[in-house]
Structure 1
Amino acid sequence: MGVLANLWRLARTGATFQRTGAMDEVLEALEAPPALRAAARILGWPLAPLGLAGDPALPPLPRALTALGPAYVKFGQTLSTRPDVVGARLAAELSVLQDRLAPFPEAEARAEIARELGAPADELFADFGPAVAAASIAQVHPAVDRATGRKVAVKVLRPGVERAFRKDVDAFFFIAEVIELMLPASRRLRPRAVCRHFAQVVATELDLRLEASAAAEFRANSRDDPGFAVPEVVWNLSARRVLTLEWVDGLPMSDVPAIAAAGVDLRDLSRRVIQTFLRHALRDGFFHGDMHQGNLKVAPDGTLIALDFGIMGRIDPYTRRVYAEILYGFLQQDYRRVAEVHFEAGYVPEGQDLETFAQALRSIGEPIFGQDASRISMARLLSHLFEVTERFGMQTRTELILLQRTMVVVEGVARTLDPQVNMWRTAQPVVEEFMHANLGPAAALRDLRRTATVLARFGPRLPDVVERALRRAAVAGPEPDDAPARLGPALAGALAGAAAAAAVALLL
């Protein structure tokens, strides 16, 4: 998109923010100096009539974003999971954007289905009904699979949404660059990095085949989890712009009085929300990254049902172990061990002092553990932890940021059900279960087996690697005393691999 088009979008965005009253909130979140805020009011006043009015029933910022269109709404939804960027108050305000858009015409949804699935909607579905939920990217229709008679939910992307998002994402980057130029203090919030994160999220959500795959994997992982369910994908009725899942009946998680009236134990449900999320993150390394109330239902028997799998998080096995050890160390208030785990994992650079870092960790944990149950927050602890590790030179790890952001949302959902829920006491059984399964002799033997399996795949190449390394060492002509130190990393790795394979072979 050209500069002039981006300038027009910037002007229209600014005018809409001014007209709806969102400008002051944004400048405050960006920590703009008073002089700049005053200048924005003076310059923005003449432009305000050019802005879009939006829905007066909404708070200022959601009002502005909904007026500007689907991409802006999606951006606001993304920011609602970033209290670290916009602050807790604005994050809560932006949470009203979930499923608040008007649906597009049913005829257009039917046309999309025919194009994607190769047959008219009436041939594939019986009782194809009006949209029951409409979001920034897609909307959902209830229907019946004509071939099986099973009730299904058909998710259809908005027509032209890909092109509209490409244009708006380009404008977002332009606006982010302008903000960083005019507000140097905003750079700590990394506006362009936030835009990159948003672009990645949207790219995944615009291909419903990826969401279908995520839903299927999540369902397989959690199949045996008591009190938790994921709807089944109907693969023959899904494509890039259409996703069909089995229909699930349940009460929206946001309707707490109705859930209580149905006889569901709110305290138990609150506990399951937390434990389910942690179990998926630690046990499977694959978790729902957008567990807000709009994506959760409660079945009549109290089963927790997850929906919308466009944002999923992954954590590799080693990071899971590190994360669990950090949580366990805090649970035991063993701050030195937490510090050691950070150093062992390489999260904190060499040269930092272990004892000083442990002392900083204690300053995080002790005030939290001294609070009453309603104020004990795992998300707050993780947020403070990232702040401290940043001061000690720790590089940002995006997978842990997503985990922490989701933990904020999960805590919020759990506390709407039970304001007195004790986050740490609830999390402890899951963390301890993971620790018992992944530390100790049995876990070490399992790791050795996996190592042996990997080495076995490269076994035929090990002799050549060793021979080449020995020849290079011979050409270099090391002195006898220095030979072991100068054999080179390739030979050292090959010999270490061979030794490990031999040790595992003896064990097995």
Structure 2
Amino acid sequence: MRQLPRLLKIARVLARHRIDELLPASRRPRVLAWLRAVIPAPGADVLALPRGERLALALTQLGPIFVKFGQILSTRRDLLPADVADALTQLQDRVAPFPAGQARAAIERALGDTITARYASFDDAPLASASIAQVHAATLADGREVVVKVLRPDIHARIDADVALLRALAGVVERTHPSADKIRPQAIVDEIETTLVNELDLQREGANASLLRRNFAGSDDLYVPEVHWSHTSAGVLTLERVRGIPVDDLAALDAAGIDRVALAEKGVRLFYTQVFRDNFFHADAHAGNIWVDSDPARKANPRFIALDFGITGQLSPEDQYYLAENFMAIFNKDYRRIAELHVEAGWMPATVRIDELEAAARAVCEPYFTRPLSEISLAEVLLKLFRTAQKYELTLQPQLILLQKTLLNIEGVGRQMDPHLDIWAVARPVLEKILLERYSPQRAVQEFRKRLPEIMTHAPDMPRLVHAWLTQQVEGRHELAMRSRDLADLATTLRGMQRRIVAAILGVGLLLVAAVLYGLDAGGPRILSVPASAWIAGIGGLWALLAAWPRR
């Protein structure tokens, strides 16, 4: 009941922006229709907006947590129409700043020291303010310029309350929506909660930045600011202050003489390098988090600057391999291989017919290959392949969806800087080189050397284990040991059924004895004026009834 006022506010905002129109008429919640009758209609300017932009506007009015919810939901393009996902991707995480006094108090609590003891100067006016944290400029004692990121006051409690509300709404969807098993609303809320909780740990974000910086140390393609660990904790992150041009400010890039064509190609190469060389990628690479180094010496050889490391991604070695092979199969128009890889990776059930899946992949890809390569979006091809595969019971992995969203961002930024960017021509040689190095004999030897201590640890046990196994084979007493919760439950059920059958047989036997005694008029002695045969029949019937009663 404590959430009722918040729930009513959400319903009022959604009704005012006519968000129910995003759903088919048969699935629109009645409460929104009732609210529309009493809530003033939005202005013509709002009604003229596309549905996705209206949803983004409504989420913005509901507050910062719902802005973050919309941003995360935009990654689920397997669930949302493309126009809605695109509109949510554009949500800007800019909210009103909180007072400097609260920021100072929060920093001092997190660091266990005063601001003046830790920083030579601290600017009370924030450089930026978002739903989770805000950023202030500061200077260290040695004169180095830094930025200090601090969590918003009471952000943990606010996120807990809104996540609880989202979970309650997901429960309603789960009980009422006909396609709830495909949408999996609780799983979506789990994903959102995990992302938000990770973003609340600024020390974790610092670790992400530190790893990305190490991966690109000395690189001419990407610069990552240094983390100052002595001034960082779970609630405060202190980073080297960097300056650059936002990647979507094309006028400023041109005024600085930046080679946008070279920059766009670098962006594509960086994506594949992060995913397939390092297996660690910046997964929130929208224009607000990517700058371009404004150093005049880098006009001809520009490099990116990465910001905000709260959301990063990694793949398992298996997913990494199958995804790389999928890219290469798309490059080579090898539809049979695409179908085989989806099944081999376990993304689809083994019962799927490869020839049918091959034909479906061909139907998706062939229309694209009639266009010039510079006009083809690799992310769009991948998205349509995933959506087609869903008809064949594709199991989408969250990390693959995050990767796909990142690829869409990178392509969008690249095409903005160079509308004629040929994604395929840039990506293919990079991917081929990385795969050649990753799966080369030299790499295999390196992996073997890393695992050599583990192998040597278990080596002394190997002769004994091999001898025991061979002895079992020769003597014909090889045993297969299976442990399964389902098998254990089945065995318990069978034992219970066996006991009930025996009890039922005994009970029926007592009934038969009673019937024979009664038929022979030999009911035996009377107990409480009732013949013994009747007592036997009653006990037998009750026994048989209890034996047949289902156990829970």
TM-score by length of 1: 0.85
Where structure 1 has 5 or more consecutive residues not aligned to the other structure, the ranges are 480-485, 491-508
Question: 2:268: which partner in 1?
Answer: 274
Contact 1:81 1:409 in 2 (8 A): no
Which residue pairs with 1:336 in the alignment?
336
**Residue 190 of structure 1, CA deviation:** 3.0
Superposed counterparts of 1:11-30, under 5 Å: 11-19=8-16, 21-24=17-20, 27-28=21-22
Relative to structure 1, is the Cα distance of residues 440 and 363 closer, same or farther in structure 2, using a 3 angstrom cutoff? farther
Q: Residue 420 of structure 1: SS of its match in structure 2?
A: coil
Contact 2:106 2:153 in 1 (8 A): yes
Letter in 2 for 1:252: P
- 2:69 is matched with which residue? 75
Assess, with a 3 A threshold, how the Cα gap between structure 1 residues 431 and 22 changes in structure 2: closer, same or farther: farther
Cα distance in 1, alignment partners of residues 387 and 29 from structure 2: 31
- CA 1:370 to 1:87, structure 2 compared with 1: closer, same or farther past 3 Å? same
Pair 447,369 (structure 1): closer, same or farther in 2 beyond 3 Å: farther
CA distance in 2, matches of 1:384, 1:76: 22
- What is the CA deviation profile of residues 161-204 of structure 1, one whole-angstrom value per residue up to 9, with x for unaligned ones? 00110010000011122234343246533332221110010111
How far did residue 23 of structure 1 move?
Answer: 1.8
Which of the residues 116, 123, 133 maps onto 1:138?
133
Pick aligned residue for 1:10 from 7, 11, 15: 7
| Paired position in structure 2 for 1:226 | 220
Secondary structure at the residue paired with 2:198?
helix
Cross-structure match for 1:235: 229
- Matched residue SS, 2:396: coil
1:65 positional shift? 1.9
User: Does 1:259 pair with 2:242?
Assistant: no
Residue of structure 1 in register with 2:499 after alignment: none
1:93 equivalenced with 2:87 (yes/no): yes
**Cα deviation, residue 446, structure 1:** 4.3
Residue 288 of structure 1 pairs with residue 321 of structure 2: no
Partner of 1:113: 107
Q: CA deviation at 1:276?
A: 0.3
In the alignment, does 2:419 pair up with 1:423?
no
Q: Structure 2 vs 1, CA of residues 246 and 440 (structure 1 numbering), >3 Å: closer, same or farther?
A: closer
Structure 1 residue 264, shift from structure 2 partner = 0.9
1:383 Cα deviation from its structure 2 partner = 1.2
Offset of residue 257 of structure 1: 1.5
| One-letter amino acid of the structure 1 residue matched with residue 378 of structure 2 | M
Sequence identity, in percent? 36
Q: Cα–Cα, structure 1 residues 454 and 321, in superposed 2: closer, same or farther, change >3 Å? A: farther
Between 361-370 and 347-356, the greater mean CA deviation after superposition: 347-356
Distance in 2 separating the partners of 1:316 and 1:140: 34
In the TM superposition, what is the alpha-carbon distance from 1:238 to its structure 2 partner?
0.3
Distance 1:283 1:392, change over 3 A: same
Cα distance in 2, alignment partners of residues 248 and 44 from structure 1:
49
Q: Write the distance in 2 (CA, Å) between the matches of 1:360 and 1:60.
A: 34
Aligned to 1:44: 35
1:453-492 Cα shifts (integer Å, max 9, x gaps): 5422322343454455457667xx517xxxxxx47699xx
Aligned letter for 2:149?
Answer: K
Bigger Cα displacement from structure 2, 366-375 vs 96-105:
366-375
Measured in 1, the distance between the counterparts of 2:264 and 2:333 equals: 24
Shift of 1:134: 1.0
Q: Matches of 1:367 and 1:88 in 2, distance apart?
A: 19
Q: Shift of residue 395 of structure 1?
A: 2.6
Report the CA distance shift for 1:471/1:161 in structure 2 as closer, same or farther (over 3 A).
farther
The farther-off stretch of 390-399 and 294-303 is 390-399
On the 8 A contact 1:374/1:420 being kept in 2, the answer is: yes
| Contact map agreement 1:321 1:438 (CA 8 A) in 2 | no
Q: Which amino acid aligns with 1:144?
A: T
- Displacement of 1:332 in angstroms is 1.5
Q: Distance in 1 between matches of 2:48 and 2:208?
A: 36
For 2:309 and 2:38, how far apart are their aligned partners in 1? 40
1:320 maps to which residue?
320
Q: Is residue 307 of structure 1 aligned with residue 301 of structure 2?
A: no
Contact 2:67 2:93 in 1 (8 A): no
Do 1:228 and 1:305's aligned partners in 2 also have CA atoms closer than 8 Å?
Answer: yes
Task: Please tell me the residue identity of whatever aligns with 2:159.
Answer: F
Work out whether residues 56 and 63 of structure 1, in 8 Å CA contact, stay in contact via their aligned partners in 2. no
Instruction: Report if the CA contact (8 A) 1:469-1:487 is conserved.
Output: no
> Which residue number corresponds to residue 390 of structure 2?
390
What secondary structure is seen at the aligned counterpart in 2 of 1:310?
Answer: coil
> For residues 200 and 47 of structure 2, what CA distance do their matches in structure 1 show?
30
Structure ID, larger Rg = 2
Give the counterpart letter for 2:36 in structure 1: W
State the match for 1:351 in structure 2. Answer: 351
1:456-475 matches, cutoff 5 A: 456-466=456-466, 469=469
Cα deviation, residue 363, structure 1: 2.2
- Indicate the SS of the match to 1:271: helix
Aligned counterpart, 2:522: none
User: How far is the alpha carbon of 1:333 from its aligned partner?
Assistant: 1.6
The 1:122–1:91 alpha-carbon spacing in structure 2 relative to 1, beyond 3 Å, is farther
Q: Separation in 2 of the partners of 1:334 and 1:125?
A: 59
Q: Would you say how many aligned residue pairs link Structure 1 and Structure 2? A: 469
Letter in 2 for 1:478: G
CA contact (8 A) 1:6 1:174 kept: no
The one-character-per-residue Cα deviations of 1:15-53 (angstroms, maximum 9, x if unpaired) are 11122x1524xx41xxx33255494553012563799xx
Find the aligned partners of 2:338 and 2:414 in 1 and give their Cα distance.
Answer: 26
Structure 2 distance, partners of 1:437, 1:462, is 32
Alpha carbons of structure 1 residues 467 and 105: separation in structure 2 relative to 1, 3 Å: farther
- Contact 2:75/2:402 (<8 A) preserved: no
Write the distance in 2 (CA, Å) between the matches of 1:139 and 1:212.
15
Q: Deviations over 1:194-249 (max 9, x none)?
A: 21110010111111111111111111112143221111100000001000000010
C-alpha separation in 1, matches of 2:197 and 2:328:
36
Q: Distance in 1 between matches of 2:435 and 2:217?
A: 22
Instruction: Give the drift of 1:320.
Output: 1.8
Relative distance call for 1:14 and 1:449 in structure 2 (3 A) is same
| Cα drift, residue 111 of structure 1 | 0.5
Residues 15, 47 of structure 1: 8 Å contact kept: no
Amino acid at match of 1:331: F
Matches within 5 A, 1:117-132: 117-129=111-123, 130-132=125-127
1:204 touches 1:210 (CA, 8 Å); kept in 2?
A: yes
Gap change, CA 1:285 and 1:462, over 3 Å in 2: same
Q: Quote the Cα distance in structure 1 between the aligned partners of 2:213 and 2:401.
A: 24
Offset of 1:99 from its aligned partner? Answer: 3.2
* CA distance 1:285–1:75, shift in 2 (3 Å): same
Distance (Å, rounded) in 2 between the aligned partners of 1:456 and 1:35:
65
The SS at the match of 1:154 is strand
